[in-house]
Amino acid sequence: MKPLVVGNWKMNGLAAARAEVETLIKGWAGSAPEACDVVICPPATLLTNFAADFGDEGLEFGGQDCHANADGAHTGDVSAEMLADAGAAFVIVGHSERRADHGESDAMVRAKAEAALRAGLTPIVCVGESAGEREAGRENDVVTRQLDGSLPPAADGAALVVAYEPIWAIGTGLTATVEDIERMHGEIRRHLGPARARTRLLYGGSVKPSNAREILAAADVNGALVGGASLKAADFAAIVDAA
Ligand code: PGA
C-alpha cells in the first residue's frame, strides 16, 4: 500500500505559514514524491487558499474536523461539504483532542466519518488509548471498541484511513516503541478483517525526523499522522522522505 503522511497543523498557522508549504514544495524541485501520498490539514481558515495555490503541486489538503450535517444552524461548525468545496480531499475525525475538548463520542465520530464519505472526502478516523488505559492493560479493548463504534460499517476499506494515536504520545515527545506499534497495528489490522484489507493504518504521536524511518518501516504501518513536526517544512519533508 502506498504510504500516506498527513500533517495535522491543529490550531496553528496564520496566512504567513504558507511559506512553510512553499518551502516544502521547493524542496521537491518540481517532482513531488511518487512513493508517498502527502496531505496537509491546515486550519480551516487557510484551506481554500492552500488548495487553490498548491493543489497541483503533488500534495493534497484536508480538514481537521467536520460536522455530521451538510448545513444548518450549527454556529461555528464546518461541514464536510464545505471542506470539499474549499478543496479538501481528506478530513480528520475523532482526534483525541476533539474527543477530549468537545466530548465527542464514538457515535458522533462515526456520523462525521459518514458525512465525510457523503461529501466525497476520505475520513482519517483516529483511535487511541490513554496512559491509564494502557497501564491497566486495556489498550486493545479500548481501541477495538473505538473502531467498532467510530467506523462507518458499510464503507469500503479503501475509502477510509485509520490513525492509531496513543494519547500519551501526542505532543509529549514520548513515542510508543516499534514493538508496541506493531502489536497494536497488527491487532487493528486483524480487527478490520479482510473486507478492510486496503484501509491504510497510520501511526501518530510525536513522530519526528529522528524516529520516522523506523516507525514507517514497522509492520502494518502505512504512514503517519504528524502534529508538531508538520509545522516546519524541513522536519515534515524529512518525515515524507523517510516514507
Ligand atoms: P504530535 O501530534 O505529532 O504533535 O504528537 C500528533 C497528532 O495529534 O496528530
What confidence tens digit (pLDDT) does each residue in 31-61 have? 778 899 999 999 999 999 999 999 988 999 9
Residue 49 alpha carbon to ligand 1 centre in Å: 24
For the cut 90, the answer to whether the pLDDT of residue 29 exceeds it is no
Range scoring the smallest mean pLDDT among 25-29, 61-65, 118-122, 220-224: 25-29
Q: Which residues line ligand 1 (CB under 6 A)?
A: 8, 165, 170-171, 204-207, 225-229
Q: What is the pLDDT of residues 111-155, one digit of tens each?
A: 999 999 999 999 999 999 999 999 999 999 999 999 999 999 989
Out of 162, 202, 226, give the residue to mutate to test ligand 1, the one with the largest number of ligand atoms within 8 Å of its CB.
226
Residues that are catalytic = 95, 165
pTM of the model: 0.97
Q: Which ligand 1 atom is at minimum distance from the Cα of 207?
A: 3
Please give the average per-residue pLDDT across 187-203, as a whole number.
96
Beta bridge partners of 62: 90
- pLDDT for 11: 98
- pLDDT for 31: 73
Please give the average per-residue pLDDT across 69-92, as a whole number.
98
Residue 36 alpha carbon to ligand 1 centre in Å: 19
Task: Report the Cα 179 to chain-centroid distance in Å.
Answer: 21
CA gap 117, 69 in Å, rounded: 12
Q: Which ligand 1 atom is at minimum distance from the Cα of 229?
A: 3
Out of 96, 170, 174, 215, give the residue to mutate to test ligand 1, the one with the largest number of ligand atoms within 8 Å of its CB.
170
Tell me the pLDDT band of 171, cut-offs 50, 70 and 90. confident
Whose alpha carbon is nearest atom 1 of ligand 1? 227
Please give the average per-residue pLDDT across 158-181, as a whole number.
93
Tell me the pLDDT band of 25, cut-offs 50, 70 and 90. very high
Percent of the chain with pLDDT over 90: 92
Out of 97, 127, 207, give the residue to mutate to test ligand 1, the one with the largest number of ligand atoms within 8 Å of its CB.
207
- pLDDT for 113: 98
For the cut 80, the answer to whether the pLDDT of residue 73 exceeds it is yes
Whose alpha carbon is nearest atom 3 of ligand 1? 227
- pLDDT for 93: 98
Tell me the pLDDT band of 69, cut-offs 50, 70 and 90. very high
pLDDT averaged over every residue in the chain: 96
Q: Which ligand 1 atom is at minimum distance from the Cα of 169?
A: 5
